[in-house]
Amino acid sequence: MYKETAREVLDFIQRSPSCFHAVAEISRQLEAAGFKRLRETEKWLVEKGGAYYTTRNGSSLIAFRVGRELDDYHFQVTSSHCDSPTFKVKEMAEVKGKGGYLQLNTEGYGGMICSTWMDRPLSLAGRVLVREGSAITSRLLAFDRDLLIIPSVAIHMNRNVNDGAAYNKQVDMLPLFSAGECGENSYRRLLAEELGVEEEAILGSDMYLYSRTAPSIWGAAEEFISSPKLDDLQCAYTSLKAMIQGENDHCVTVYACFDNEEVGSGTKQGACSTFLRDVLQRLNAGLGFDGEDYCRAVAGSFMVSCDNAHAVHPNHPEKTDGENCTWMNKGIVVKFSANQKYTTDGISSAVFSGICRDAGVPVQYFANRSDSVGGSTLGNLSSQKVSMHTVDVGLPQLSMHSAYETAGIRDSQYMVDGLTAFYRTNLHITDSETFVMDK
């Protein structure tokens, strides 16, 4: 069972070469499960027992299912993110080099480990804005072939390469596109050909590099999975699966997957935006509730913010706190930070741990070393617009933000089981300090 779920995660990642493709794939799976699409620009009709989703910018998505009875109106939410560190192609996309070399002009998106992007087949995925009559339409585009490589400098020309390297993104990280056969304007021509449109019809684009290295299940005992973008597509998929199967007749269950986590979430579709609040307020109105009902519902709500966590590194165990550290294949990680970079507190940890314990799902606890800063995630940001009890969780992995990340083969199943139990357990919050877990 856990192997099948791990394969589903890897399959989902391969169908998601960009955040736009991830949202398209999530939409496809939601529709197959009976969720109806709502557009933000149209009036929403929402009913008890109904299941719906909406997207913003084509790169963030929120789905919700309204309980049939709705006798304990509140929201039980999971959140994750669908973007990953990569390189974005600049608007003036080509750089002419010596001897006919053609390179793509890119800039970094998020905090990637640069060296891991070198010497491996890369391609392009994203969206292109195409003029069709009086309309400008967004078209998904992903090249399903090896198109680019960022070549490293031979060790003979860079003898110090193994002594700690520095990478300049304007100099060292530009991908090679042609050795001379492709003339000027080839990049644009390539996009137009692939889309089957005239070059002049292309008015804009958001195109990113993606790694072509195939995911793998590996190890002498097949204990590991490796793939691009496990952070955070592993959580985006496992929470989606839990949302689809985790029905709850009493409340509203919500699945949110945000773009732009890797660049601080401060965009119109990011976790800091009004997106979640707008969706919750509109479904509140659609169900005939008023502002007082909304505030009461939010006060009784709970969010599980899902973003991958760090497993102990085999070569560098000293990088993690000796006790508050986590291991692959040992279950869901609950993350703590005294300064609240992670939102987890005693209450939210207790509630989530209680649900997992009842479901037989192992949980482990993480805090950064007290002398290191660590990363940040979604929970504390979305709380600024919609404030509810929140726990920050994730799955343990190695090499976060590498172009090829590694995780445990068993943990995806643990997340599916833990979050399914979370959705199915009706959390009845009588005040901010008392919780009843109804099955």
Residues in touch with Zn ion (CB under 5 A): 231-232, 307
Task: Tell the smallest beta-carbon distance from residue 241 to Zn ion (Å).
Answer: 18
What CA–CA distance (Å, rounded) separates 240 from 423?
Answer: 11
Q: Contacts by 213-218 with C-beta closer than 8 Å and gap 24+?
A: 213/120, 213/121, 213/403, 213/404, 214/14, 215/10, 215/13, 215/14, 217/3, 217/6, 217/7, 217/10, 217/409
Closest separation in Å from C-beta 229 to Zn ion = 10
CA distances to 148, 195, 252, 332 from 391, rounded to whole Å, are 40, 43, 18, 12
Q: Measured from the CB of residue 308, what is the shortest distance to Zn ion in angstroms? A: 6
Q: Which two tokens stand for residue 235?
A: 């959580």
- Beta carbon nearer to Zn ion, 373 or 436: 373
**Of the two residues 77 and 427, which places its CB atom closer to Zn ion in the complex?**
77
- Write down the least CB distance from residue 84 to Zn ion, Å: 8
Of 259 and 307, nearer to Zn ion (C-beta) is 307
| Closest C-alpha among 242, 314, 258, 269 to residue 65 | 242
H/E stretch holding 76 reads strand 75-81
Q: How far apart are CA 366 and CA 358, in angstroms?
A: 21
d(CA 146, CA 143): 8
Q: How far is the CB of 394 from Zn ion (least distance, A)?
A: 8
Residue 328 and residue 397 in contact, taking contact as beta carbons nearer than 8 Å: yes
The Cα 436–Cα 439 span in angstroms is 10
Q: Which is nearer to Zn ion, 354 or 375 (CB)?
A: 375
What is the closest distance, in whole angstroms, from the C-beta atom of residue 408 to Zn ion in the complex? 17
Q: Are strands 302-306 and 309-310 parallel, antiparallel or unpaired?
A: unpaired
307 or 411: whose CB is closer to Zn ion? 307
What is the nearest approach in angstroms of Zn ion to the Cβ of residue 261?
Answer: 6
- Closer residue to Zn ion, CB minimum distance, 232 or 411: 232
Which residue number, 235 or 244, has a Cβ lying nearer to Zn ion? 235
Q: Least CB distance from residue 232 to Zn ion, whole Å? A: 4
Q: Which is nearer to Zn ion, 94 or 231 (CB)?
A: 231
Give the gyration radius of the chain's Cα atoms. Answer: 23
CB-based burial of residue 88 (10 Å sphere; 0-12 exposed, 13-18 middle, 19+ buried)? middle
Of 292, 384, 287, 283, whose CA–CA distance to 40 is shortest?
Answer: 283
